[in-house]
Structure 1
Amino acid sequence: MTDWRNAVDSWIDSHADELRSLRRHLHSHPEPSREEFQTIRFLASRLEAEGVPYELTPSRRGILAGALEADGRPLAAFRADVDALRITDAKDVEYRSRQDGVMHACGHDAHATMALGATLALWRCREILPSPLAWRALFQPAEEVGEGAFEMVAAGAMEGVGAILALHVDPERPTGRVGYRVGPLTAFCHELQVTIRGAGGHAARPHQACDPIIAASQFVSSVYQLVPRSVDARDPTVVTFGSIQGGTSGNVVPEEVVLRGTIRTLSRASSQRVAERIQQIAEGVATATETSFAVSLGNSTDGVVNDPGVTGTCLRAAGEVLGPANLEEIPLPSMGGEDFAGYLTQAPGCLLRLGVAEEGKTRHHLHSPHFDIDERALTLGAKILAHGAILTAEALADA
């Protein structure tokens, strides 16, 4: 191994306890999407203490660190998301969330810690890194609501960036292993809201009302039955309604029902077809039930499509840290969403899945109130990001 690899890895290993403490602080003090002000202040204070150049985004909920100007050199960027979820932490640990109803149930506290560790290692070891080398670290808000990447891009985060990489913790994969996939990795996601209006009345005389509840139930059933038969069976498609709100009393037919759900596909064309079919179903049910339907799509996130070249470089980096035998190909894309895709409209990139499952312990899935990680993964992730940034920057310089 060359000197920079030894130096970077040694620095990260020697700060393992600090990284663990940083992650536990973030885990204890979570902030939900759009409210990440204290989290960003905390991360910025660590960068400032080490003399790392950084700037805050206009919202003061995001950070650009490292090379703030490209100076004509293509930059290698790496990203971490920092927001938490509105979930109550059910773990019995000293670092459980102190914010009622909010917790880091998707590992963003670990992402931020690993990216901070990589940033500090690269900065501390900058004198022996290959030259010329240009890298930038991005700490973004609002990933869980699909807004943060676009906000960062608008703030100039991708100016001069030639490639970008990221890690996402994977509680189904053992610590010390990385999952990768070339091409489609995550789904195109769209928020869906359907508002159904009818005519309220007495529950004993439903013939005098136009019941939006029966319209809603018929609509949900029809969507679940008909949408899968409207798209190519070889093209994965998921439509799920997670919220139905309507009525306040058991003996009153309400005026309105609101459904909220999500559409997940692996292509923009399929998303459009599904949206059109849902509208057609809504029109049909509205006619049959004498109600009115308003169908709207909210925030949308493109699917993450990993670039072959950048993925190859990231696998070299992960292989240097973990060994090639611990790199596992992911056979099928996930129907989950990830707003890392927002950066890929500006430059090619790669998202890897980092194993955080501790041997012998129960594995709790992402977004579970019991979610936690094997903290030994923090140094591994920091090393992979640091190696990946250097190797990607070298590849960009040689291109």
Structure 2
Amino acid sequence: MPESWKQRLDAIISEKRDEVRDLRRHLHAHPEPSGVELATSMHLYQLLGQLGVEVQMGPEGCGAIADGGSEKDSVLGRIAVRGDIDALRIQDEKTTPYRSTHPGIMHACGHDAHTSIAFGVVQALVLLTESGSLPWPINWRVIFQPSEETATGAAQMIETDVLVGVEKIFALHVDPTRRTGEIALRSGPMTASCDAVHLTITGRGGHAARPHESRDPIAAAAQLINSLYQFVPRATDTQDAVVLTFGSIQGGTNPNVIPDQVELRGTMRTLDSGVRSRTIDQIHQVIRGVEGITSTKIELTLDASIASVVNDAAATSLIWQAGEEVVGAKNVQLITRPSMGSEDFACYLEHVPGAMFRLGCAADLAAITPLHTPKFDIDETALEIGVRVLVRAVVAACEPQIK
């Protein structure tokens, strides 16, 4: 019986698993934060060039785009896969041989895994094409995107026409709350929209011993945070999700000096555009109240707003079917409620249909290392699963009767 393309695919991925794993470890040991992924991008550019694919660098040398397919001049639209390449400003506290060598920077969100899986997709598609194993012509594009963590990279890549000719796009995110060998997804909203919230509180500085002579922006900041945390949820329907969190407070340099200004930075996350608008109105109302009782001036700026990831039904179905083939039907799980996390993959989905899925990466659920923590790590056997699912989805998306 002749070997099927899926058997050939799985054989290729098995043969290349060590290369994918080694790339992940290299990236983990040499992380770069958002906007300065220059060495990462050049490393990927060189590896992709060795595969013989058409490759170009992303904007300002960050990111890379690889193109390939069965027919160079085909009228087929491209099926895209996106992997993100940036790391976080977190100190790696692991003791593994591949722990970060860059102080204060680590891949704590799994982008090294996403990038390695995306590279594995390129490898597999190239070798399937060279061996003549593909069941029908395909055209594909794999996007290695910078600056996901700052929610700016997807928009930058889109501005360089990375979606021109693309008909569908797929992505994944590792999930340490799920066992390796499980994947999860849903059609429709999958993540929250996210607005970066920047509040500038301007008062009048003074001596710490005489606060009555100042307009204390630190006191105003404390009142503002407490009021927002209390009254924004109270003004929102209990069946609607809103999360407002501040992760940075900057103000003052001396313990005995009241500063002139304090800055607060955080995020606001919602699942509905109407809820988002009403929440912004409520924030402004709270601001006016705090200004009135503290005699300070408070300025609100919303930056780097991104929409919800909304998975297309047909694209979700392709991932679901591919997942069942790879891990079995019982290990493909429905996500019942959207996450309040955010993902700038949403930017692509505002232009073309696509889907993102969660890839289980925990060898032991009793020893989970959560995302965005100093000891985050993955079970590397999940890498191969991610490649198998994505390549199947790409090929299936090009099947003539589907198009």
TM-score with structure 1 length normalisation? 0.96
Write out the 4+ residue segments of structure 1 that deviate beyond 6 Å after TM superposition: none
Q: Residue 331 of structure 1: which of 324, 336, 358 is its match?
A: 336
Q: Distance in 2 between matches of 1:57 and 1:155?
A: 8
Q: What secondary structure, in the 3-state scheme, does the structure 2 residue paired with 1:13 have?
A: helix
**Residue 229 in structure 1 maps to residue 246 in structure 2:** no
Deviation of 1:2 (Å): 6.6
Taking the aligned partners of 1:2 and 1:361, their CA distance within structure 2 comes to: 40
Q: Does the 8 A contact of 1:314 with 1:392 survive in 2?
A: no
Contact kept? 1:135, 1:393, Cα under 8 Å: no
**Counterpart amino acid of residue 91 in structure 1:** K
Amino acid at match of 2:21: R
Counterpart of 1:206, as a letter, is P
SS at match of 1:128: coil
Q: Give the aligned partner of residue 62 of structure 1.
A: 63
Superposition pairs of residues 275-286 of structure 1, within 5 angstroms: 275-286=280-291
Separation of aligned partners in 1, 2:50 and 2:250: 49
Q: Which residue of 1 aligns with 2:9?
A: 8
Sequence identity percentage: 45
Alignment counterpart, residue 387 of structure 1, candidates 386, 392, 399:
392
Contact 2:68–2:126 (CA<8 Å) still a contact in 1?
Answer: no
Q: Is the 8 A contact 1:183 1:305 kept in 2?
A: yes
Partner of 2:90, secondary structure, is coil
Q: Does 1:152 align with 2:157?
A: yes
Aligned to 1:212: 217
Q: Which moved more, 1:244-253 or 1:23-32?
A: 244-253
| Alignment-derived partner of residue 271 in structure 1 | 276
User: 1:203: Cα distance to partner?
Assistant: 2.0
Match of 2:103 in 1: 100
Q: CA deviation at 1:43?
A: 1.2
Matched, 1:289 2:289: no
Q: Are 2:59 and 2:156, in contact at CA under 8 Å, matched by a contact in 1?
A: no
Residues 127-158 of structure 1: per-residue CA shift (max 9 Å, x gap):
22122212111110000000111111111111
> What SS does the corresponding residue of 2:52 show, helix, strand or coil?
coil
Higher alpha-carbon deviation: 111-120 or 41-50: 41-50
* Structural mapping, 1:351-366, within 5 Å: 351-359=356-364, 362-366=367-371
2: CA distance, partners of 1:209 / 1:41: 53
TM-score, normalised to structure 2's length?
Answer: 0.95
1:30 and 2:31 correspond = yes
Q: Show structure 1 runs of 5+ residues with no match.
A: none
Q: Deviations over 1:244-300 (max 9, x none)?
A: 122222322221111111101002222222112111211121111111111111111
Alignment RMSD (CA, Å): 1.6
Structure 1 residues 321-364: Cα deviation after superposition (integer angstroms, max 9, x where no partner): 11111101111111111000010011111100000001376111
Matches within 5 A, 1:51-200: 51-67=52-68, 71-126=74-129, 127-200=132-205
Query: How many angstroms apart in 1 are the aligned matches of 2:161 and 2:135?
Result: 25
Instruction: Please give the secondary structure, in 2, of the residue aligned with 1:325.
Output: helix
The letter of the residue matching 2:50 is A
- Alpha-carbon offset, residue 313 of structure 1: 0.7
TM-superposed CA distance for 1:206, in Å, is 1.7
- In 1, Cα distance between equivalents of 2:229 and 2:397: 44
Question: 1:256 aligns to what?
Answer: 261
Aligned equivalents of 2:175 and 2:140: distance in 1?
25
Matching residue within 244, 268, 291 for 1:239:
244
1:71 Cα deviation after fit: 4.1
1:41 maps to 42
Aligned letter for 2:339? S
Deviations 1:309-329 (A, max 9, x none): 110011111111111111011
SS at match of 1:190: strand
Q: Where in structure 2 are there 5+ consecutive unaligned residues?
A: none
